[in-house]
Amino acid sequence: MVTLDLRHVASPVVRDLLHLVNHPDFDRAQQQIERLGGCTEPVRLTGQSTTVDATTGEVLRSYSSAEEPTGSLLTACGNRRSSRCPACSRLYAADTYHLIRAGISGGKTVPDTVRTHPRVFATLTAPSFGPVHNRPDARPCRCGTRHEPTDALLGTPLNPATYDYVGAVLFNAHAGALWARFAIYLRRELATRLGMTQKVARAAFRVSFAKVAEYQKRGLVHFHAVIRLDGPDGNTQPPPSYATAAVLTDAIRSAAPRARISVTSDAIGERELSWGQQLDVREIAAFGTDSELTDQAVAAYVAKYATKSADASGTLDRALFCHPCQGRGATLLPHGTPLPCTACDGTGQARPLPRLAVARHVRQMIRTCWELGRLPEFAELKLWKWAHMLGFRGHFSTKSRRYSTTLGALRDARRTWRTEQARAHAGLTEPDPTTTLVIGHWDYLGSGYSPGASLLAASVWHRRHLERQFAAEGGC
């Protein structure tokens, strides 16, 4: 039973909702919305699929989106950003949690013996580009004020006129490459400490990791990573006894300062980008110990930040422009058709930035992305496209090949389970893949609900959120 308060809802929304509720097949429409679990921006598809017996040509089953009350099939958007879709974001966080924990404790095709491998939790931060308002432990901020945790000044420069915005944006843009450079030096440092050549070290052990990027209040990314030592075959094999957590920790502390990237430009001169001095490396304790840094705690911590993006630091959660051409005047579609650029006037000259309802510090970071994006030497950074992310263009969640399972494998397992549940509910038998053929054709129609359906989706999310809270508090 869905209960909605319509007293403060605009009349067009009410009319659309009443039209949907009075639809002869409203139950099916509600079933689609329930199945999405409260997704706020579902993808609408049109098309059909047919299941055919490959030997006889008999049509066993057929489906068409035209049969749906709305004329389209709704699928979840899958957006990981909590500010865009809380429902899909929560599912992404859950998948990330299982992926991270499988690499720490085992499970999901990873053997339980992986918890005996050396494992550390490392945090690599950005350097300083100028003093900012903060909350020191034992003294006031440099401005003389003891800031509250929710103070909007936190993370903003004490003196915006002298803050190195160019360096901050370039660090975000090169953060992914800086991590790759760190990973190379880490393997070299391990080999050096163990008295081996890199070739011998690769044959003796393997470095596996999973990391997520988090935005600090000052708009700069830093990385939280689980780093583990395995045998040469990956998580199924322990490393040699001499490859310990202490050796790994020491190698990380030496590799981080060595990872540097030089950037040269006639407009800004030469810059050297590196990690900040704040480097935290702690060994992960076995599950069930008294230590705060246990398997479960680390997995939950990493999953929490996998769904946050730049909007957590007060900026935007979507691109400023749909098709920035990076100064070329037009964007070519895959089939060669030119698409007018939404970021420039068609001649490569950037359009003025739109008025943005963001803090001054964030606006200046975006403006710096915009100005640097005009320079030919920074075209490959695509700063126009990633201005809403303050220049960061890397993946928020990445892992090495042998760390654990993949997000794709987790999603496939969930999809298979849901399909089996739907077949069982409808009384259908599972088709034999050796004798059946599924033929389908689908087109993208759009995204989002109608105004009335969005209210139903919001009520689904709210109800499930309350159910989770009730269960977490020990309800039955």
Q: How do residues 22-43 score in pLDDT, each as one tens digit?
A: 888 888 888 888 888 888 889 9
The span from the CA of 154 to the CA of 275, in Å, is: 21
Helix (H, G, I), strand (E, B) or coil at 218: coil
Q: Kindly report, residue by residue over 231-244, the tens digit of the pLDDT.
A: 999 999 999 999 99
pLDDT for residue 309: 52
Q: Kindly report, residue by residue over 76-93, the tens digit of the pLDDT.
A: 988 888 778 888 888 888
Q: Kindly report, residue by residue over 122-180, the tens digit of the pLDDT.
A: 999 999 999 999 988 878 898 988 998 888 888 999 999 999 999 999 999 999 999 99
Q: Kindly report, residue by residue over 410-422, the tens digit of the pLDDT.
A: 989 888 888 788 7
> Going edge to edge, which strands form the sheet with 221-230?
279-283, 119-124, 221-230, 206-215, 397-399
Rounded average pLDDT over 70-75: 87
Instruction: Enumerate residues 6+ apart whose C-beta is below 8 A from 216.
Output: 125, 126, 155, 222, 313
pLDDT for residue 166: 96
Q: List the structure tokens of 43.
A: 């993808």
Which phi and psi (to 5°) does residue 287 adopt?
-65, 135
Question: Looking at the predicted structure, is the pLDDT value of residue 455 above 90?
Answer: no
pLDDT for residue 378: 92
pLDDT for residue 302: 77
Rounded average pLDDT over 351-380: 86
The span from the CA of 171 to the CA of 174, in Å, is: 5
The span from the CA of 304 to the CA of 317, in Å, is: 17
State what percent of residues in the chain have pLDDT above 70. Answer: 88
Alpha-carbon separation of residue 48 from 67, 376, 388, 442 (angstroms):
10, 46, 37, 7
pLDDT for residue 238: 94
Buried b / exposed e over 108-118, threshold 16 CB at 10 Å, is bebeeebbebb
pLDDT for residue 245: 94
pLDDT band at 190 (very low <50, low <70, confident <90, very high): very high
Q: Comparing 427 with 283, which gets the higher pLDDT?
A: 283
Rounded average pLDDT over 320-336: 64
pLDDT for residue 19: 80
- Mean pLDDT of all residues in the chain? 85
SS3 content of the chain, % helix, strand, coil (to 5): 40, 20, 45
The secondary structure element, H or E, covering residue 399 is strand 397-399
pLDDT for residue 2: 52
Alpha-carbon separation of residue 452 from 68, 290, 329 (angstroms):
16, 50, 40
Instruction: Enumerate residues 6+ apart whose C-beta is below 8 A from 266.
Output: 377
pLDDT for residue 92: 86
Alpha-carbon separation of residue 448 from 23, 45, 228, 411, 454 (angstroms):
19, 11, 41, 22, 8
The span from the CA of 57 to the CA of 437, in Å, is: 9
State what percent of residues in the chain have pLDDT above 90. Answer: 36
How many CA atoms lie within 13 Å of 13's alpha carbon, on the beta-carbon side? 13
pLDDT for residue 8: 55
Question: Looking at the predicted structure, is the pLDDT value of residue 385 above 90?
Answer: no
pLDDT for residue 96: 85
Q: Kindly report, residue by residue over 276-300, the tens digit of the pLDDT.
A: 999 999 998 765 555 678 887 888 7
pTM: 0.84
Question: Looking at the predicted structure, is the pLDDT value of residue 324 above 70?
Answer: yes
pLDDT band at 51 (very low <50, low <70, confident <90, very high): confident
CB atoms inside a 10 Å sphere around CB 43? 17
